[in-house]
């Protein structure tokens, strides 16, 4: 057999560990030939690939980013002004066969798994591997990259405590996650944030201000507010906010008189070396992907369910997002501890 591996969408700690896991198990255990597709689906369109062997897969376990590169190419996206866009799925299918592939492994988040499902529907043999720091891929309890991002975000919150305490300030930190609040919830709780705002719950800015004032009046002269980037803000008239943390900090300072500063952590959360947990999770995902290929069990995405590696049909994953449930245990325990979720 011969397979291709690509990584698509945003970069994420652990992609190289997954590439290594897929490739080494495929080659050493199943005797499968492996090639790497550069720049995601764009590389498959341009037939841009490199052969992968055990030597080229060595020494990449701890590397951040992806040795194959990535892109946000969406081959099924239709652009009115470009009829050529409609040919991309056909080009991918033709190149898949010209390269002699028996399967294509797609490492990526929600958008990648949606494209993977469409390619599977078109007749190609596809295996999906979920990666995202956002942890919002449906069908898996965890995606690799999430643990690393939470570690980085928690460390940032830990560091904000000292400056907030020194200046008696409110420090508002904005964390990634798109429309899911997993990073903000886990890092906020682990970092001892006093207010945590999640897209899934919504928030009332007046409740946030009351929570800050309650702490101040009780002698707690500084506060930490963890904000998920996807929270919906209405802002002030005639003023747009690129970052919700800016709106939260400005509003708190103007309404309470307490000095407030925002920190937007940004891409730092998905850079650098993956955590040991993510290295191992990506390795487990990769090895199971190779196993599914050897069994010719295609059209599936590997996943983690109740601590065990398994797989789920791509048709069940495509187009869905895993959001934080309102009854999540961290939320329940946080509320009991007096942490405000702005509701």
Query: 102, 134, 141, 204: which is the annotated catalytic residue?
Result: 134
Which two structure tokens, joined as six digits, stand for 128?
């999906």
Return d(Cα 324, Cα 334) in angstroms, integer. 14
Return d(Cα 42, Cα 26) in angstroms, integer. 24
Give ∠ CA 17-21-22 in degrees, rounded to 5: 120
Return d(Cα 285, Cα 308) in angstroms, integer. 10
Which two structure tokens, joined as six digits, stand for 318?
């495509």
Pick the closest to residue 99 from 37, 27, 18, 41 (CA basis): 37
Question: What is the residue-wise DSSP string for 96-152?
Answer: HHHTT-SEEEEEESHHHHHHHHHHHHTT--EEEEEB-TT--BTT-S--BTHHHHHHH
Question: What is the residue-wise DSSP string for 211-224?
Answer: HHHHHHHTT---EE
Return d(Cα 272, Cα 259) in angstroms, integer. 33
Which residue bears the tokens 């988040």?
109
Q: Do residues 9 and 111 lie in contact, with contact meaning Cβ atoms separated by under 8 Å?
A: yes
Return d(Cα 36, Cα 8) in angstroms, integer. 12
Question: How crowded is the C-beta side of 14, counted as CA atoms within 13 Å?
Answer: 31
Tell me whether residue 333 is exposed, middle or buried, using C-beta atoms within 10 angstroms of its C-beta: 0 to 12, 13 to 18, 19 or more: exposed
Q: Do residues 243 and 191 lie in contact, with contact meaning Cβ atoms separated by under 8 Å?
A: no
Q: Quick check: is 134 catalytic? A: yes
Please give the helix or strand (H or E) that residue 337 lies within, else none.
helix 329-337
Residues taking part in catalysis: 134
């Amino acid at each position: 057999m011969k397979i291709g591996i690509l990584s698509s969408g945003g970069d994420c700690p652990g992609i190289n560990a997954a590439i290594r896991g897929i490739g080494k198990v495929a080659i050493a255990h199943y005797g499968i030939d492996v090639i790497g597709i550069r720049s995601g689906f764009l590389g498959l369109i341009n037939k841009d690939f490199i052969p992968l062997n055990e030597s080229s897969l060595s020494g990449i376990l701890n590397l951040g980013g992806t040795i194959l590169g990535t892109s946000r190419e969406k081959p099924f996206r239709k652009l009115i002004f470009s009829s050529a866009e409609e040919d991309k799925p056909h080009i991918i299918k033709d190149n898949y066969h010209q390269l002699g592939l028996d399967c294509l492994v797609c490492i990526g988040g929600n958008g990648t798994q949606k494209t993977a499902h469409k390619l599977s529907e078109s007749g190609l043999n596809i295996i999906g591997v979920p990666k995202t720091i956002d942890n919002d891929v449906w069908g898996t309890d965890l995606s690799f990259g999430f643990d690393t991002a939470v570690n980085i975000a928690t460390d940032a919150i830990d560091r904000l405590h000292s400056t907030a305490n020194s200046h008696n300030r409110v420090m508002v930190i904005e964390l990634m996650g798109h429309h899911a609040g997993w990073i903000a919830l886990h890092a906020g709780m682990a970092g001892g944030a006093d207010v945590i705002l999640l897209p899934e719950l919504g928030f009332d800015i007046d409740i946030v201000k009351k929570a800050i004032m309650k702490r101040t009046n009780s002698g707690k002269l500084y506060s930490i507010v963890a904000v998920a980037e996807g929270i919906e803000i209405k802002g002030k008239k005639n003023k747009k906010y690129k970052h919700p943390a800016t709106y939260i900090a400005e509003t708190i300072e103007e309404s309470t008189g307490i000095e407030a500063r925002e920190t937007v952590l940004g891409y730092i959360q998905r850079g650098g070396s993956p955590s040991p947990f993510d290295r191992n999770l990506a390795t487990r995902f990769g090895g199971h992907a190779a196993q599914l290929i050897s069994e010719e069990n295609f059209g599936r995405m590997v996943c983690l369910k109740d601590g065990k590696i398994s797989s789920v049909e791509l048709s069940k994953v495509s187009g869905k997002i895993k959001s934080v449930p309102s009854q999540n245990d961290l939320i329940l325990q946080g509320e009991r501890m007096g942490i405000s979720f702005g509701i």
